[in-house]
Amino acid sequence: MTKKILIDTDPGVDDTMAILFALRSPELEVIGLAAIFGNAYVDVTAKNALHLVELENNHHIPVAKGAAVPLVEPPRSMGMHVHGDDGMGGINLPDPDGELLGIPAAQFIVETILANPGELTLVPIGPLTNIALAVRLEPRIVDLVKEVVIMGGTVYADGNASPVAEANIYNDPHAAAIVFNAGWPLTMVGLDVTLKVVMTKNYLDKLCSVGNPATEMIRQVLPFYQQFHMEEYGLNGDLHTHDPSAIAYLLDPALFQAEQIPAFVETVGSCSGQTVLDRQRQLGDFKEINVCLGVDDRSVLDLFWERLTG
């Protein structure tokens, strides 16, 4: 049976790779995309999301535009230095053919969960603002969603937005705190695993030479992102695999080693945006979440390769 998913996303170079990975996986039925600020402004990420469903001839998949700013604090940063001004490595895509939905992303998320009780998996791969707004709008979605699988957070790995915080959590810690404490089945695919899945320059060069519409799009958006990884991490054309790893988890959770652990998100001070495990519940009565700590990196890369080139 296919898994129905709704991806909440800020495309974004690695979001692009993740969305194409999902659209090309027959086990997944992408019911919709919701756009969020993050790697670029939300007007831009929404347009990019629409463009990606059209690229794979999925014009029927609805795209809703979501929040432009975090819940409480002003935006900390947008990721244009990582993903380019257009979020797509500066390739300046033409306008998509289709239109965005006429309702905000939070409402779209609520309506989609209510229409598919117990069946929909939410897959946020950007800041968690739309998801927190949806919980506020209709708290019943917590019991009606099948599961929530996020790309975000870090426990043992260094942060990438602050010494302790991963970017998606850092960009709206208050929203993340709501999502972590909601009490729904939540899996965290964070930097502890995504940094271990490395697409080498050789792997990417071969992928980009395949020449189908998906790999052509990846070939165009990659150079800016690779340049950032070179300057920031000294990688020579290699990339960490963030958002596509969440899709790999949906396809085959057995590729990941995960533990159920009580966790919370810090929202104040210099550690704001940190995802903290509190095994003994010393700091509060926190909800358990499923935290990915290990990964079969080779198999994740093979799966991505198979779907993108097949």
Instruction: Using CB under 6 A, list all residues that contact ligand BDR.
Output: 12, 14-15, 39, 79, 82, 125-126, 151, 160, 166-168, 242-243
Q: Which is nearer to ligand BDR, 17 or 107 (CB)?
A: 17
> How many residues form the binding site for Ca ion (CB under 5 A)?
6
Task: Give the helix/strand (H/E) hosting 303.
Answer: helix 297-309
Segment interacting with Ca ion, rule: CB under 5 A, options 22-30, 59-67, 117-125, 187-195: 117-125
Q: Which is nearer to ligand BDR, 47 or 242 (CB)?
A: 242
Taking CB under 5 A as the rule, which mask of x and - marks residues 75-114 in contact with Ca ion?
----------------------------------------
Q: How far is the CB of 43 from ligand BDR (least distance, A)?
A: 17
Beta strand pairing status for 120-124 and 147-151?
A: parallel
Length of the chain: 310
Distance CA 129, CA 171 (A): 9
Distance CA 196, CA 240 (A): 7
Q: Which is nearer to ligand BDR, 12 or 32 (CB)?
A: 12
Distance CA 194, CA 202 (A): 19
Active-site residue set? 10, 242
270: left (phi over 0), alpha (psi -120 to 50) or beta: alpha
Taking CB under 5 A as the rule, which mask of x and - marks residues 11-50 in contact with Ca ion?
-x--x-----------------------------------
Sign of CA dihedral 23, 28, 32, 35: negative
Nearest one of 136, 138, 98 to 115, comparing CA atoms: 138
Tell the residue number behind the tokens 């709501």, with chain if given.
Answer: 178
Q: How far is the CB of 39 from ligand BDR (least distance, A)?
A: 5
Judged by the rule CB under 5 A, the positions of this chain that interact with Ca ion are 10, 12, 15, 125-126, 243
